[in-house]
């Protein structure tokens, strides 16, 4: 939460600065008003992105060995495409954007429980991901600073692999896994700027939470165990967008 609070504070300060610049007026004479030219952000756009992600998967047993707990730190390469639409209201931008790509999140960790001949670990893999988010931003000449947030889901597989070979449990092992599409949420922000009349580039940060899941499995000796897992993460990505044409603005003039 401290990271999110810092992000919100920084973006608010920058947004106030851009709003002031966007509302500035130019005068060529005592009675002549010249509107400040603003990049035509409104309308449909689409593009591609690439970046990195890092996160965490916490897992603990619900009915097994007391203190059996894991905390993995998966990471990976993010690639994908986005499609969206912008509306302008003066210096304010309202938009909606969707993503489709590969989250590339992968990693594993061993249990924190120290026990003789007890070897158990969890593994996380997240591939296909999608998001549908709103955007609220401030434009300033050829720059856009924005907040974004909404739904994010990912195809995630979490596995628990365990072996036990001591006087307490004898020779026992288990492989339990669950593959499902996890629905979660995301929030973040970014900055976008014009490369030409049709192309823009952007850098974006997102925090996402894929929620909790329960994994069940039966050992070779017939005992059933349940584990609860929770996965969240962050991603930073850079991308380019192509603007398909200007859409309507709520106000006329330079916007």
**Residue range 153-162, pLDDT digits in tens:** 999 888 877 7
Candidates 208, 204, 212; CA nearest to 234 is: 208
Confidence grade of residue 175 (pLDDT, cut at 50, 70, 90): confident
Average pLDDT over every residue of 136-154: 95
Domains and CATH numbers, the chain: 2-243 (2.40.160.20)
User: How much is the pTM?
Assistant: 0.75
Measured in degrees and rounded to the nearest 5, phi and psi for residue 2 equal -65, -40
126 DSSP β-pair partners: 105, 156
Cβ atoms 59, 228 nearer than 8 A: yes
Concatenating the DSSP letter of every residue in 101-148 gives EEEEEEEEEE-S---TTEEEEEEEEEEEEEEEEEEEEEEETTEEEEEE
Express each pLDDT in 39-89 by its tens digit: 788 999 999 999 999 988 887 777 655 556 777 788 999 999 999 999 999
Separation between Cα atoms, residue 123 and residue 144, nearest integer Å: 39
pLDDT of 163 reads 66
Q: Is the pLDDT of residue 95 over 90?
A: yes
Q: Tell which wins on pLDDT, 9 or 143.
A: 143
Separation between Cα atoms, residue 39 and residue 22, nearest integer Å: 11
């Amino acid at each position: 939460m401290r990271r999110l609070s810092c992000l919100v504070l920084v973006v608010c300060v920058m947004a106030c600065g851009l709003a002031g610049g966007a509302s500035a007026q130019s005068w060529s004479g005592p009675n002549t008003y010249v509107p400040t030219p603003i990049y035509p952000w409104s309308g449909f756009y689409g593009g591609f992105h690439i970046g990195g992600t890092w996160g965490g998967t916490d897992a603990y047993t619900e009915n097994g060995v007391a203190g059996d707990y894991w905390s993995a730190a998966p990471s990976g390469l993010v690639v994908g495409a986005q499609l969206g639409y912008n509306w302008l209201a003066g210096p304010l931008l309202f938009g909606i954007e969707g993503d489709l790509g590969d989250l590339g999140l992968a990693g594993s960790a061993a249990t924190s429980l120290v026990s003789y001949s007890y070897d158990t670990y969890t593994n996380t893999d997240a591939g296909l991901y999608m998001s549908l988010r709103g955007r609220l931003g401030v434009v300033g000449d050829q720059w856009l600073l924005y907040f974004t947030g909404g739904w994010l889901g990912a195809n995630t597989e979490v596995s628990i692999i365990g072996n036990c070979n001591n006087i307490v449990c004898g020779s026992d092992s288990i492989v339990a896994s669950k593959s499902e599409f996890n629905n979660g949420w995301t929030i973040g922000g970014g900055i976008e700027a014009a490369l030409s009349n049709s192309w823009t580039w952007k850098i974006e940060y997102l925090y996402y939470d894929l929620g909790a899941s329960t994994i069940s499995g039966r050992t070779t000796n017939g005992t059933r165990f349940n584990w609860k897992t929770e996965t969240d993460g962050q991603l930073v990505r850079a991308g380019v967008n192509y603007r398909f044409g200007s859409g309507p603005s709520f106000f006329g003039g330079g916007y």
